[in-house]
Structure 1
């Protein structure tokens, strides 16, 4: 696997292009955009699932979250972590830091 720049040309020519890289390099721009959207969807889904699991552990009192020695409340903004994450992805504003 070579290190690549935006033009997909190898920066380090001594390393061969992997099978995945060579396949990806053969895609047109539309195909690359579709793959990028699929990867982003997968990443966001995984983050959502981790937030849901952490929320479940936190709300069942099997997990506590502390920041700078201060215990964080469970669902401080009247919602779950995973719902909050989903809302932020859809453009909801961050709550006031004073809350």
Structure 2
């Protein structure tokens, strides 16, 4: 199992020991941009066109509610990936049957 798969598994299992840097890695991989806080705040924003803004405070430990938010993002992205893969497969199969 790759390190990426292990990281995703930790989120999906709602591991209580998730680090903020791991959240940043996952969110960037799925196309979110990180916006650093201004004025001394500890709340970071993750934004992606067409998606709701996600705000997560950089505290140790990361609270489970925020890990659940990232889990939801991962699950939605996985569904989209499956849909894209299925569409690609269907188009390849239909092209091959001409």
So what's the TM-score if we normalise by structure 1? 0.40
Structure that is richer in strand per residue: 2
Larger Rg: 1
Larger helix fraction of residues = 2
